Amino acid sequence: MLQGQSIINGQPKQGSGSTFTGINPATGDRLEPAYSSASREDLERAASLAEEAFPVYSRTPARQRAHFLRHVADGLEAIAAQVVERAGQESGLPEARLKGELARTVNQFRVFAQVIEEGSWVNARIDLAQPERKPLPRADIRSVLRPLGPVAVFGASNFPLAFSVAGGDTASALAAGNPVLVKAHPAHPGTSELVGQAVSRSVRACGLPAGTFALLFDAGTEVGSLLVAHPAIQAVGFTGSLAGGRALMRIAAARPEPIPCFMEMGSTNPLFVLPEALKARGAEIANGLFNSFTLGVGQMCTKPGLVYLPCGEHAEMLVAELRLLVEQAGASVMLTDAICRNHNTGMILRQSDERVEMLAQGAPHAGSGGAYAAPALFQTSGGNLLADPDLAREIFGPSTLIVRYKDTQELMALAESLEGQLTASVHGTDAEITAHAGLLAALERKAGRLIVNGYPTGVEVSNAMIHGGPFPATSDSRATSVGTLAIYRFARPVCYQNFLQVALPDELKDENPLGIWRMIDGQFTRDAVAAPVAAPVS
């Protein structure tokens, strides 16, 4: 079933670039088949098909697009066993996690189907004509969100399903009415191809233009760079490293016509523990923290990588609990050999830094070979971190850095010295949370999501979720890549002045045929536009 080929025009396409394979990170074994990198011509063809597909797909009624999204969801469920097996081989992630991730991926498609079927997301606004207004009459003015054009999506290494070929970026871009070109992550090509085939089958089954979806493989970074530079591409969705995201942002900004970029580039996710909470439930926090920073072998964008504890005996007790948990833990396989090597480099640098103490480390992997990492616990002082914020740099893996703060003043200074984050968490008693409004206010400027008495891992796909935050967490703090608001990244408002009813999009027609919420002359309503009242004959 796996062809080792890109998918263009709904068909497998043998590339002419260098070849690569998936690699089982647990063993280092190559996984068949070999994948050929897409050529420049392949990319041109995929882009021009997407461009051709746009006028048709963007005008496909929302009800049909919703049907398509549900078809994809069903198609993924139908191949779940195969996808989970292959993803396990390629990523080293356990079956239960991958089953959960597949369910989430499927759910995302169904959630966006619901959003576009309900239809009110388009922000339809109608300002009725005022022909009698003085000094000048007002024309009839209406606006609604319309899709941007073909979107480039980059699969992430750490979520081979939920942030990859049919991940949240793809689901939201398709939901908004945009064709999608996915650049597969080379760490899980087989998973990508299986999922890409399923999406392609749904495109065909739903009678959509073949250019609505394409999947491109590349051993390196050339296809991705060319994709972001391609004039047909109108926006970019990316989850990955800061270096990779930043490089693509530069390409997008240097285009003759710059395009919006939505890069999610990770975060250290600071977690603050206040003294009374520590006293009341230190052991519980130790457990929650350990589970959170080791979840998925610490390869989560939302892993809490900085834990701020006060000084004193209660903190010592929490640290002792954490040490025990870390020391009892064994090594687990990481996603790829490259991630494992980066992790090891980060660990060596941190271990050799005299300002940081390594408090505990889990048992190393017993066997030889494979990309394994054991949990680790580090500690430094607030003073050290304030003196050199670079101490806090993200290590992608199952470790965290405890930062001991002296007092509230130092706590505030530490909060204010943070760079942009996806999340920031605070553990405190009700009285402490109430008393620390200043801390929460400072963190609000730093992060997209603030969490009280919880842990940042586990990102809910819901209407209020924000998985975003100030740079360098993401390229655009005004966007989210998780939750229903993610659809807004891939749409732009278009205004229609003095239009005939027949020429208006359905969302803006007087009678409100889609029954959506609209703003009419400043009022939210699901009503139709009232028929004009005839002027009384005088």
- Closest by CA to 296, choosing from 468, 159, 188, is 159
Q: Which of 64, 496, 510, 528 binds a copy of itself (CB under 8 A)?
A: 496
Among residue numbers 331 through 390, which ones bind a copy of itself (CB under 8 A)? none
Among residue numbers 385 through 424, which ones bind a copy of itself (CB under 8 A)? 419-420
CA distance 331 to 483: 33
Q: In 3-state terms, what secondary structure has residue 70?
A: helix
Q: How far is the CB of 109 from a copy of itself (least distance, A)?
A: 17
Q: Which of 45, 125, 188, 509 binds a copy of itself (CB under 8 A)?
A: 125
Q: How far is the CB of 397 from a copy of itself (least distance, A)?
A: 24
Q: Which of 132, 352, 367, 498 binds a copy of itself (CB under 8 A)?
A: 498
Instruction: Write the burial class of residue 12 (CB in 10 Å: 0-12 exposed, 13-18 middle, 19+ buried).
Output: middle
Q: Which of 220, 445, 515, 527 binds a copy of itself (CB under 8 A)?
A: 445
Contacts (Cβ under 8 Å, ≥6 apart) of 265: 238, 240, 241, 242, 244, 245, 246, 472, 473, 474, 475
**Structure-token match 């130092």, residue found:** 410
Q: One of 51, 90, 101, 264 is an active-site residue; which one? A: 264
CA distance 143 to 304: 42
Question: Which residues sit opposite 46 in a β-bridge?
Answer: none
CA distance 377 to 67: 48
- Count of residues of this chain found to bind a copy of itself when the rule CB under 8 A is applied: 77
Cβ–Cβ under 8 Å, residues 343 and 376 = no
Q: Which of 138, 204, 341, 355 binds a copy of itself (CB under 8 A)?
A: 138
48 binds a copy of itself (CB under 8 A): no
Whether residue 456 has a cis bond before it, omega within 30° of 0: no
Q: Is 301 designated active site? A: yes
Q: Is 264 designated active site? A: yes
Q: Which stretch binds a copy of itself (CB under 8 A): 27-35, 193-201, 329-337, 485-493?
A: 485-493
Residue whose CB is less far from a copy of itself, 46 or 439? 439
Question: Which residues sit opposite 147 in a β-bridge?
Answer: 491
Contacts (Cβ under 8 Å, ≥6 apart) of 425: 269, 270, 271, 272, 304, 450, 451, 452, 454, 455, 456
Q: Which of 279, 499, 510, 528 binds a copy of itself (CB under 8 A)?
A: 499
146 binds a copy of itself (CB under 8 A): yes
Helices (H) and strands (E) in the chain, counts: 15, 23
126 binds a copy of itself (CB under 8 A): yes
DSSP strand pairing (11-13 vs 6-8): antiparallel
Q: Which stretch binds a copy of itself (CB under 8 A): 64-72, 86-94, 134-142, 236-244?
A: 134-142
Q: One of 301, 340, 394, 410 is an active-site residue; which one? A: 301
Among residue numbers 246 through 285, which ones bind a copy of itself (CB under 8 A)? 249-250, 253, 257-260
440 binds a copy of itself (CB under 8 A): yes
Question: Which residues belong to the active site?
Answer: 264, 301
